[in-house]
Amino acid sequence: MNIFRQKQKKYIFLFIFIFLLFLACFIIYGIQTGHNSKASYFSHTETREALGTVVTITLFSTEENPLTEKQLTDITNDLFNEADRLEHIFSARLNDSELSLLNSSAFISPVQVSEELFNLFDIALNYCSLSEGAFDISIGRLISLWNIGSDQPYVPSSDEISSYLNQEGWKKISLDTESKTISYEDNSISVDLGGIAKGYIGDRLKDMAENKGITCGLLSLGGNIVTIGERYTKEDWTIGITNPASPDSIIGSLKVSHMSVVTSGDYERYFVENGVKYHHILDPYTGYPSKSGISATTIIGPSSAVCDALSTACFVLGTDRGMLLIESLEDYEAVFIDSSGSIYTSSGISKYNFTANINTD
């Protein structure tokens, strides 16, 4: 009798032990998967062709700011619609955009424009001036002459270039703050906002998302990165910088929150004719694709529009003058990569923890 009881006890202990073992395994498993899955946050991502490029919007519902899947989907839709609306204001390629209408009549008399167009002109002209014309929105005629990034790019003759060249053309554009009107001095001016509009639209989409209650998100407007808030893990977002020598790999990465990261590179839009590569960033002083020796410029700062304009300006200015411009601006930092692969960084880049990828392939 006694022996039987002891045996029974032993088996009970054994079963409890095995049961606990299983329980422990599943608890460990649960903790591990719960940590990085839907327990505390989830996201909605959508990629669409928009703004003449590809736009990806990722919005998060977080522990502090829980939102429903439907709310995220609806806000994503609203953002894409807003991007389309703004494109119909700023695009020089769309014949019925507000900008195209302005281009066809602002040399005759001042034209009253929408608040968005006026604001963007205001910011753009400020950076035309700060960059001493390295960023110049008035070279629309040169841009459409080359037509880089379209179906039919074209290498103009030097005669054509000189007749289309309009150095410091931005000085011929006047804004009237009172009446919100824009006028051009003569019909040699045609404005193209391609070097800043994507950035500005990024800022507007971020504002709109925040107004609709988003506190965490990541936008990519054709490679212009806009971060909303901190990463869902309450850390910084990690943003890679494309290696211009091999655009399917990254040359380094940055840690940012609330900031925008914009890159201009000679690998983005280009065409090759008779063995010569023509990239899309034109030097407003020569009329040809810029030969400053830079392959890519990345700018980090609070305004995506400013980052966009500065990345173009620095690309044209080259490493030395470009870095001087960045150092003169408090809120903006830069990473430049020249054609030999050397990396240049501005003095304040350490706050974004820039780390170069040594093992790029």
Partner 1 sequence: MKNKRNAIIITALIILLFAVSVCAIYLIKKNAGNDIYAAIYQNNRLVKTIDLTKVQESYSFTVTGDNGCYNVIEVRNGSIGITESSCPDGLCQDMGFISDSLIPIVCLPNHIVINLTDETGSDNIDGISY
Binding site for partner 1 (CB under 8 A): 10, 14, 17-18, 21-22, 25, 29, 32-33, 45, 47-49, 52-54, 56, 149, 151-153, 218, 220, 223-225, 227, 231, 237-242, 247-248, 250, 253, 261-263, 265, 267-269, 271, 298
Nearest approach in angstroms of CB 157 to partner 1 is: 21
In 105-256, DSSP assigns E strands to: 111-112, 173-176, 181-184, 217-221, 224-228, 237-242, 250-256
Query: Which candidate, 341, 348, 294, places its Cα nearest to that of 319?
Result: 294
Return the number of the residue (153 or 348) whose C-beta is nearest partner 1. Answer: 153
Q: How far is the CB of 218 from partner 1 (least distance, A)?
A: 5
Q: Which is nearer to partner 1, 121 or 237 (CB)?
A: 237
Alpha-carbon span 22 to 9, nearest angstrom:
20
Least distance from partner 1 to the Cβ atom of residue 268, Å: 7
Here the tokens at position 235 are 């850390």
Strands (E), the chain: 42-50, 53-61, 111-112, 173-176, 181-184, 217-221, 224-228, 237-242, 250-256, 260-265, 270-273, 276-279, 294-301, 333-338, 343-345, 355-356
Q: How far is the CB of 247 from partner 1 (least distance, A)?
A: 7
Closer to partner 1 by CB, 240 or 348: give it. 240
Residues facing residue 256 across a β-bridge: 237
Q: Are 59 and 217 in contact (CB under 8 A)?
A: yes
Nearest approach, Cβ of 313 to partner 1 (angstroms)? 17
User: How many CB atoms neighbour CB 277 within 10 A?
Assistant: 11
Smallest gap from residue 13 Cβ to partner 1 (A) = 10
61 beta partners: 42
| Under 8 Å between Cβ of 300 and 256 | yes
Distances, alpha carbon 170 to alpha carbons 78, 91, 314, 361, in Å = 34, 18, 17, 42
> Token pair for residue 66?
């829980």
State in angstroms the smallest separation of the CB of 168 from partner 1: 30
Q: What's the closest the beta carbon of residue 6 comes to partner 1, in angstroms?
A: 10
Choice between 125 and 251, CB closer to partner 1? 251
b/e burial code for range 102-121 (CB count within 10 A of at least 16 → b): bbeebbeebbebeebbbebb
| Nearest to partner 1 of 208, 250 (CB atom) | 250
